[in-house]
Amino acid sequence: MGVDIMSSEYVNVDEAVSRIGGNVNLYKKLLGRFVDGNHYDILESALQSGDTEGASHQAHSLKGVSANLSLSKIWSITVELEQLLKDGADCSSCMSELKEAFTSTLEKISEIMS
């Protein structure tokens, strides 16, 4: 299956691979690191413990990583989440969306990796 067929609303493989000079193997390696990073769990833990500063830092980091890897859905939600955290607003709905996006994105990454 060609890499371009695997692009979706969650992962834009073409864009990401193009960004790193067409190196599909490097992209897969970076995706593996993302999967191993437990980003959602770290963010959720910070929020549950009331560590707004830690949650903001994690949301910002996740926004950057997802942009670099073209994880489109996660990126768009973390943009919103980061603003909610800055504003001190309730982010439970946004976190629910992020959890769903993570699940779908990780499924897509699994397909790409195989």
Number of independent structural domains in the chain: 1
Domain range spanning residue 18?
3-113
Nearest to 75 by CA among 20, 15, 25, 28: 15
pLDDT tens for 48-96 read: 999 999 999 999 999 999 999 999 999 999 999 999 999 999 999 999 9
pLDDT tens column, 91-113 = 999 999 999 999 999 999 999 98
Q: Domain with 54 in it: what CATH number?
A: 1.20.120.160
30-56 burial: b if 16+ Cβ within 10 Å, else e? bbeebeeeebbebbbebbeeeeeeebb
